[in-house]
Structure 1
Amino acid sequence: MGADARRCVVVKGTDGGASRARILARVRRALADVPAHERPRDHPVARDYLRVHGRRSPAESAALLAAHLADYRARVHRCGADGLPRLLRDLLAERGARRVVVPAGPPEEWLAGAPVERVPDSPALTPYDLDAVDAVVTGCALAIAETGTLVLDGGPGQGRRRVTLVPDHHICVVRTADQIVDSVPQALERLDPLRPLTWVSGPSATSDIELDRVEGVHGPRLLDVVLVADAAG
């Protein structure tokens, strides 16, 4: 899921400009009875939709998040704060990772004892540099249970957007105590719209016209999400 909610309508057709003209003419006809002085704020849209679909305990929200992440082919792991360093070592060792991007901010003990070269996030890192590393380990701003989405905002432990889009393997740590919300409206209330928001729902994937799934086109082919039950903020 992309961070930008804007939409762009592209008109395609063999007649090019004629198709565009027809569509714009329809828009003008639909707006013909709207007074020129009228503005969208003159007719407020009711925002009475549900903010959340159902009531859940924190454990149920975490379970729903895990289920949706798994549907998107992310791998979900659970541990306590004490078990996090060992789990991260195992996940990196499983793929033979040797060089790992680590943004500034996460606790040093996250990768304590991991036999890897830590590559600090830096503006000097080019896409080619990032493509040469084996993995990136980050935290997140929050996670949304109803959509199975991780949101990163470039805050401590998350790094720049580039470091989570280029490496082939992304490990994201989520604190279940304070980083999981149920719905998108709840997430938007906690996020700063001025920050660079990246919305991640599973590994990068797309399909061609025959619906053959291809992974890794727009980001990591492998996403490991670690739900930490008792991590401090």
Structure 2
Amino acid sequence: MNSRERILGRVRRALADVSADEAPITRDYLREHGQRTVAETVDLLAENLADYRAVVHRCTDDELPDVLMRLLAERGTRSVLVPPELPPHWLKAVDATRVHDRAVSTPHELDRVDSVVTGCAVAIAETGTIVLDGSPDQGRRRITLVPDHHICVVRVPGQVVSSVPQGLERLDPARPLTWISGPSATSDIELDRVEGVHGPRTLEVILVTEDRPRDQGRIEST
């Protein structure tokens, strides 16, 4: 018997005479830290995304095609990876080759793609986290892990929540969830930061509102 088996055995013996009804799980933690308006929650999301070195843009739905065209052109994108049900009008102004998400695509083929554009499942303001769940406007997990540049579109305020507990209520745990807080990064024992190790080196997030946003500038980390 190894250490793991001994520990699990002790847990089972300790719980042998306890039914599920006698051991309720308490969830008395805070669901949200502080009181914020919708606008303040979106501002907090933008601030925390930027703190994680994501580049944040704001626009209306009508302006989104032009914003995507500009961002991809500024990066010199010649090919863009497209999930199966990305809204067609998003990329209507983009002059780049569409590469469709296919099961037969190899990691080497995906690595040759310049950029990927996706939607998201939910965005969490308090942690600056974007969550993808593999829905048709997001595609499979690997298409956002291999290309070096990821643009993620977040619908405001419908897809924005304040806290992780609120975000979890919207997610299906049976789906392939990818939690993203800024571009991929790691650091060694001397805290030298290296980006793009196990995901995109550059993450850009577009907060899209139905009405004209209060501030159309972008928030960038320094």
With normalisation by structure 1, the TM-score equals: 0.83
Contact 2:42 2:157 survives alignment (8 Å) = no
Equivalences for 1:1-233 in 2 at 5 Å? 21=3, 34=14, 36-38=16-18, 42-230=22-210
Partner deviation per Cα, 1:13-47 (whole Å, 9 max, x = no partner): xxxxxxx85x987x58x869936433676322321
Contact 1:150 1:200 survives alignment (8 Å) = yes
Contact 2:49 2:129 survives alignment (8 Å) = yes
Contact 1:105 1:157 survives alignment (8 Å) = yes
Deviation at 1:177, TM superposition (A): 2.5
CA change 1:24–1:207 in 2 (3 A) is farther
Contact 1:139 1:174 survives alignment (8 Å) = yes
1:106 counterpart letter in structure 2: L
With normalisation by structure 2, the TM-score equals: 0.87
**Which ranges in structure 2 are unaligned for 5 or more consecutive residues?**
212-222
Cα root mean square deviation, aligned: 2.3
- Describe the SS at the equivalent of 1:196: coil
Cα distance in 2 for residues equivalent to 1:40 and 1:135:
49
Partner deviation per Cα, 1:121-166 (whole Å, 9 max, x = no partner): 1111111110000000000011011111101111121000010000
Cα distance in 2 for residues equivalent to 1:35 and 1:220:
45
Which has the larger Rg? 1
Contact 2:44 2:126 survives alignment (8 Å) = yes
Deviation at 1:65, TM superposition (A): 0.4
Cα distance in 1 for residues equivalent to 2:15 and 2:138:
48
2:118 counterpart letter in structure 1: T
Deviation at 1:89, TM superposition (A): 0.9
- Describe the SS at the equivalent of 1:66: helix
CA change 1:78–1:33 in 2 (3 A) is same
For structure 1, which segment, 178-187 or 33-42, has the greater mean C-alpha deviation from structure 2 after superposition?
33-42
2:178 counterpart letter in structure 1: T
2:37 counterpart letter in structure 1: S
Aligned pairs, number: 211
For structure 1, which segment, 30-39 or 42-51, has the greater mean C-alpha deviation from structure 2 after superposition?
30-39
Contact 1:177 1:230 survives alignment (8 Å) = no
- Describe the SS at the equivalent of 2:17: coil
Contact 2:126 2:162 survives alignment (8 Å) = yes
